[in-house]
């Protein structure tokens, strides 16, 4: 690699690699170090070339075709279709169809009924004929699975908007929910922030029950067109399912007798709540689904499409579109610039890029500008906590998240910024906010503290993914690592986090991964945190984790874990090798002192061998999650940043390994 004199390109000011062990006599280790260094240098060049001039990085965030189908359904509902958009969306949806006529929700995953129903309807809107061969295959498979009646609630809500499903046959969600105080079960703050932002507008939709004329019938998607809505069996009254089914029946009766004035006040309160949370860019929380439902809800309340709120909301939706060279148009469910930028900064710094390199300083400047300094929904439960921290997206001041805040702090500590006092102050605010968001059990969730109510997930309405935000091992690991780097290993709150992590370790030695797939991600997040917090590499918990990672290493030297591991035990730790998951496993092993082991060398060799000519890696498999199993994510930058971080630490060591390991022997079980 050649470094330019101004440092604008290339990995200028690379740190020197540590000297090899003098007792090491084989040339193989030296060769492997050279291979790893070369792969890291090529990856650095690639990643530096992808930075935006403003300082941020962002990879595509791929999910599944329901995003694209619902975008077309929204345009149909509002009457704002345009031929170019419809054609491009249909091209993308067709391109994702499997050979049997179905659609899945992650690469090489099984067919998904709801995704197939929504994709089919979207293609019908785009002009595909029901007697086209690819449509015949899709409709036949849907009928084999039980038809529309077996699809998820959200799919049937979209169909109800056009009269393809009866509103009476959907779970009820009344807007009077807005009146529940925060101490009453099932108040809106009992839901995770992503669910809350979706449920509030849907209470308006549920109350209004709109039906726009359908442009065609969907009889071919019912098992029996003469009786398309078969009744569901009722659970025993003594069971929780039975209780909530009967509650739903009561709510349906209430819908018929709800006082009009009370309902109008409730819907207006929901509208006020929605509008107050619209971001400066017109979106809601930087997430596409809440924006879609918010636009529909406000439109039903009389907001015309030229109203400033509506116009900004619709314009924001266009920013979720990724136009491809073949003319296809993919919709991102969310965008991840803060997350991608902090991870890219860590990767580059750990791979030898100098801390004052202009690219890292630009990244730090941009991240500092994204700090959130006003209260959001989290303050409902934590009113005395001062704001601080970072969100995931470009615009999202209402929902900073604990995971991003921890990783941004770790990234900023790797940069030699010209205004260190500004950096210190921002990190201190983030640390204080993260500590204040600790849950009672000592761990951390993603957006809220103690968001663990058992009731929201039991609602018949909530049949798709997690709607609460309990603490997780991966987020807790990142926070503990950040606190250790900030010199807080001995802080009682850090020790409680460590204790929780030790108690959460699986019998296998792994940790569950909430926001990444799956046990490899959880273990790759926790082991470096425990080491940073002072646990010795010889600690039994660390050794069990190391043994587990070695036991699930693939024959090719890499690591992989299929999304089916969330449902099927046989998939735990198993799947095709991927760059990001191999990076996670290596980060854990390197933190545990396994640098010179055969497992690490094989993992490094796999990364080097699978690297592409431009220094990047390809990764079609989905290794991120929105909801485990139910909503899967392929972060296109994961395949670049995690292999590079692992290669960098293999070559140069962990930059904080010595400075942060200051809490050894403290804390219960340590």
Q: What is the pLDDT of residue 646?
A: 98
Angle at 124 between CA 123 and CA 127, to 5 degrees: 90
Determine the topology of domain 42-59+336-454+470-660 in CATH.
Glycosyltransferase (1.50.10)
Residue 110 is classified by DSSP as P
Q: What is the pLDDT of residue 5?
A: 32
Report residue 234's pLDDT band, with 50, 70 and 90 as the boundaries.
confident
Report residue 349's pLDDT band, with 50, 70 and 90 as the boundaries.
very high
- Digit-coded pLDDT (tens) for 187-229: 999 999 999 999 999 999 999 999 999 999 999 999 876 555 5
The span from the CA of 125 to the CA of 333, in Å, is 21
Are 344 and 362 spatial neighbours (Cβ–Cβ below 8 Å)? no
Extract the tokens encoding 156. 């049937």
Considering 71, 403, 562, 654, which one is annotated as catalytic?
403
Instruction: Find the mean pLDDT for residues 609-628.
Output: 96
Q: Which helix (H) or strand (E) holds 639?
A: helix 638-652
Residue 568 is classified by DSSP as -
- Give the CATH number of domain 62-217+239-331: 1.50.10.20
Extract the tokens encoding 254. 């209430």
- Digit-coded pLDDT (tens) for 80-131: 999 999 999 999 999 999 999 999 999 999 999 999 999 999 999 999 999 9
Instruction: Find the mean pLDDT for residues 483-488.
Output: 96
Q: Which residue has the higher pLDDT, 665 or 355?
A: 355
Q: What are phi and psi of 370, to 5 degrees?
A: -95, 0
Q: What is the pLDDT of residue 4?
A: 37
Q: Which helix (H) or strand (E) holds 431?
A: helix 420-436
- Digit-coded pLDDT (tens) for 584-597: 999 999 999 999 99
How far apart, in Å, do the first and last CA atoms of the chain sit? Answer: 43
Are 19 and 637 spatial neighbours (Cβ–Cβ below 8 Å)? no
| Range with the poorest average pLDDT among 316-320, 386-390, 470-474, 556-560 | 316-320
Q: Where are the domains of the chain?
A: 42-59+336-454+470-660, 62-217+239-331
The span from the CA of 230 to the CA of 216, in Å, is 22
**582 closest CA partner among 565, 567, 597, 599:** 599
Q: Which residue has the higher pLDDT, 231 or 215?
A: 215
Q: Is 340 an annotated catalytic residue?
A: no
Q: Which helix (H) or strand (E) holds 634?
A: strand 631-635
Are 396 and 411 spatial neighbours (Cβ–Cβ below 8 Å)? no
Report residue 483's pLDDT band, with 50, 70 and 90 as the boundaries.
very high
**638-652 helix and 598-610 helix, angle to the nearest 10 degrees:** 130
* Cα→Cα distances 235→242, 251, 460, 527, Å: 4, 17, 12, 43
Are 612 and 8 spatial neighbours (Cβ–Cβ below 8 Å)? no
Are domains 42-59+336-454+470-660 and 62-217+239-331 of this chain identical in fold?
Answer: yes
Q: What is the pLDDT of residue 670?
A: 31
The span from the CA of 601 to the CA of 96, in Å, is 37
pTM here is: 0.92
The span from the CA of 478 to the CA of 428, in Å, is 16
């Amino acid at each position: 690699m050649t470094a330019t004199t101004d440092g604008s390109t290339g990995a200028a000011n690379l740190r020197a690699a540590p000297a090899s062990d003098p007792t090491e006599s084989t040339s193989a280790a030296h060769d492997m170090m050279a291979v790893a260094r070369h792969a890291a240098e090529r990856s650095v060049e690639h990643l530096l070339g992808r930075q935006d001039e403003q300082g941020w990085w962002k990879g595509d965030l791929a999910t599944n075709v329901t995003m694209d189908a619902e975008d077309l359904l929204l345009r149909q509902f509002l009457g704002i279709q345009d031929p170019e958009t419809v054609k491009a969306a249909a091209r993308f949806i067709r391109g994702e169809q499997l050979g049997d006529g179905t659609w899945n929700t992650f690469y090489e995953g099984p067919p998904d009924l709801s995704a197939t129903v929504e994709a089919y309807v979207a293609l019908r809107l785009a002009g595909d004929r029901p007697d086209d061969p690819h449509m015949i295959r899709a409709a036949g498979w849907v009928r084999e699975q039980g038809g529309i009646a077996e699809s998820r609630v959200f799919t049937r809500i979209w169909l109800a908007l056009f009269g393809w499903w009866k509103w009476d046959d959907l779970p009820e969600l009344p807007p009077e929910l807005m009146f529940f105080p925060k101490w009453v079960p099932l108040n809106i703050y009992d839901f995770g922030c992503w669910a809350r932002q979706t449920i509030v507008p849907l209470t308006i939709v549920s109350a209004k029950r709109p039906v726009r004329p359908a442009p065609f019938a969907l009889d071919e998607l019912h098992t029996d067109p003469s009786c398309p809505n078969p009744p569901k069996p009722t659970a025993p009254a003594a069971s929780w399912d039975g209780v909530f089914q009967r509650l739903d029946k009561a709510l349906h009766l209430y819908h018929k007798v709800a006082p009009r004035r009370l309902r109008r006040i409730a819907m207006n309160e929901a509208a006020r709540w929605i509008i107050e949370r619209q971001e400066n860019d017109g979106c809601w929380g930087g997430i596409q689904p809440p924006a879609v439902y918010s636009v529909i809800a406000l439109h039903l309340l009389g907001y015309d499409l030229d109203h400033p709120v509506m116009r900004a909301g619709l314009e924001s939706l266009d920013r979720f579109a990724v136009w491809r060279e073949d003319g296809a148009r993919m919709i991102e469910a969310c965008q991840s610039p803060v997350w991608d930028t902090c991870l890219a900064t860590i990767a580059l710094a750990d791979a030898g890029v100098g801390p004052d390199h202009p690219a890292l300083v630009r990244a730090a400047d941009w991240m500092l500008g994204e700090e959130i300094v006003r209260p959001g929904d989290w303050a409902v439960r934590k009113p005395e906590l001062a704001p601080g921290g970072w969100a995931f997206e470009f615009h999202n001041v209402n929902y900073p998240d604990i995971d991003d805040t921890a990783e941004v702090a770790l990234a900023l500590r790797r940069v030699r910024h010209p205004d260190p006092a500004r950096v210190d102050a921002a990190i201190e605010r983030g640390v204080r906010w993260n500590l204040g968001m600790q849950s009672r059990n000592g761990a951390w969730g993603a957006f809220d503290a103690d968001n663990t109510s058992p009731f929201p997930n039991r609602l018949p309405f909530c049949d798709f993914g997690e709607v609460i935000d309990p603490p997780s091992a991966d987020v807790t690991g990142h926070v503990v690592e950040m606190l250790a780097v900030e010199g807080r290993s001995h802080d009682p709150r850090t020790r409680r986090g460590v204790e929780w992590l030790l108690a959460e370790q699986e019998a296998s030695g792994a940790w569950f991964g909430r926001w990444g797939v799956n046990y490899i991600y959880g273990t790759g997040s926790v082991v470096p945190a425990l080491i940073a917090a002072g646990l010795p590499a010889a600690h039994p918990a660390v050794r069990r984790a190391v043994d587990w990672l070695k036991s699930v290493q693939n024959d090719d030297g890499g690591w992989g874990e299929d999304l089916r591991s969330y449902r099927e035990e046989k998939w735990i730790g198993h799947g095709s090798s991927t760059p990001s998951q191999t990076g996670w496993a290596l980060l854990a092993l390197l933190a545990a002192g396994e640098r010179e082991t055969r497992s690490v060398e094989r993992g490094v060799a796999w990364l080097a061998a699978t690297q592409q000519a431009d220094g990047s890696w390809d990764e079609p498999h989905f290794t991120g999650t929105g909801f485990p199993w139910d909503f899967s994510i392929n972060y296109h930058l994961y395949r670049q940043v995690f292999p590079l971080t692992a290669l960098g630490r293999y070559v140069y060591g962990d930059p904080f390994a010595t400075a942060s390991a200051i809490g050894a022997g403290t804390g219960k079980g340590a």
